[in-house]
Amino acid sequence: MNPSIRHKARLERHTSTQFDAELEDIRERVLSMGGLVESQIADAARALIDGDGVLGERVSRQDYRVNAAEVDIDELCTRIIAKRQPQAGDLRLVLAVAKTITDLERIGDEAEKIGRFASQVASRERPTSTFRQIEALASHVRQMMRDALDAFARLDSQMALSVSQADIEVDREYESTVRECMTFMMEDPRTITPMLDVLWSVKALERIGDHSTNIGEYVVYLVGGRNVRHTSFEAIEQVVASISSAAQDAGD
């Protein structure tokens, strides 16, 4: 090998290692932003269920940290595209990150809202059965978000699929919780005002499920190169099955 080619090869390897490190850095930032958002959801739900107004206030005041993370990572994505001109899989990864952080930020917004509503209804009497339902719903959407981020971290399309599956169940729980709240309002119209704040919070939880589903869909796109947004659960299932069987063929 002549010296200049060797130099070039070393340079390219060096550049590619740096690039890999940059991609890894972005990936870690997304996961750390996800951790932040997850603790916001957990605190917001806790505040709502326990009637802890102080905690609710704190959640709604801390949303700026999630927002700042989004702006930073978004800036990094733009810089990496401009500087590295990534192709194929790498480009898809950076673009999927840009979308994922938008959904994470919106999940943060929903947690902020729940925190705000929680502080408004903190001192009110609370119907036990409804709040048990809300607790279950909150725990399920948190799990969805965690699974969506795990799927993203491991590029695991099967796990991403399980998020879409869970959303079907969460939508059912949401409908049933809304019906409970309505029954309560009809039985005692004086509760309409506080119960509406509860209803908005329940709605916010349901939206967190939707955003987590979006993140799962970006993962399927990232792994399989197929955009599965706006398709049915069955269609996503087929794409994931074809990814798995292609991976198996490659392994044979």
Kindly list the residues in this chain that would bind a copy of itself in the complex (CB under 8 A): 64, 67-68, 70-71, 74-75, 78, 81-82, 85, 87-88, 91-92, 95, 98-99, 102, 178, 182, 185-186, 189, 192-193, 196, 199-200, 203, 227, 229-230
CB of 125 to a copy of itself, least distance (A): 17
Helix pair 88-121, 128-154: axis angle to 10 deg: 160
> How far is residue 91's CA from residue 178's CA, in Å, rounded to a whole number?
41
In the DSSP assignment, the letter for residue 156 is -
Nearest approach, Cβ of residue 238 and a copy of itself (Å) = 17
Residue number with CB closer to a copy of itself (115 or 159): 115
Looking at the Cβ atoms of 94 and 137, the one nearer to a copy of itself is 94
Q: How many Cβ atoms are within 10 Å of 235's Cβ, its own excluded?
A: 12
- In angstroms, give the least distance from the CB of 69 to a copy of itself: 11
Burial (CB count <10 Å: 0-12, 13-18, 19+), residue 69: buried
**Least CB distance from residue 134 to a copy of itself, whole Å?**
17
Pick 74 or 135: Cβ nearer a copy of itself:
74
Residues 6 or more apart in contact with residue 218 via CB below 8 angstroms: 96, 99, 100, 152
- 139/183 with CB nearer a copy of itself: 183
Which of 133, 138, 123, 177 has the alpha carbon at shortest distance from 45? Answer: 138
Give the nearest distance from C-beta 227 to a copy of itself in angstroms: 5
**Cα angle, residue 215 at apex, residues 212 and 218 outer, rounded to 5°:** 155
Residue 112: CB minimum distance to a copy of itself, A:
11
Rounded-to-integer distance, Cα 110 and Cα 137, Å: 14
By C-beta, is 159 or 185 nearer to a copy of itself?
A: 185
Q: Which is nearer to a copy of itself, 85 or 128 (CB)?
A: 85
Q: How far are the Cα atoms of 75, 131, 191, 198, 217 from residue 125, in angstroms, in the given order?
A: 45, 11, 9, 12, 40
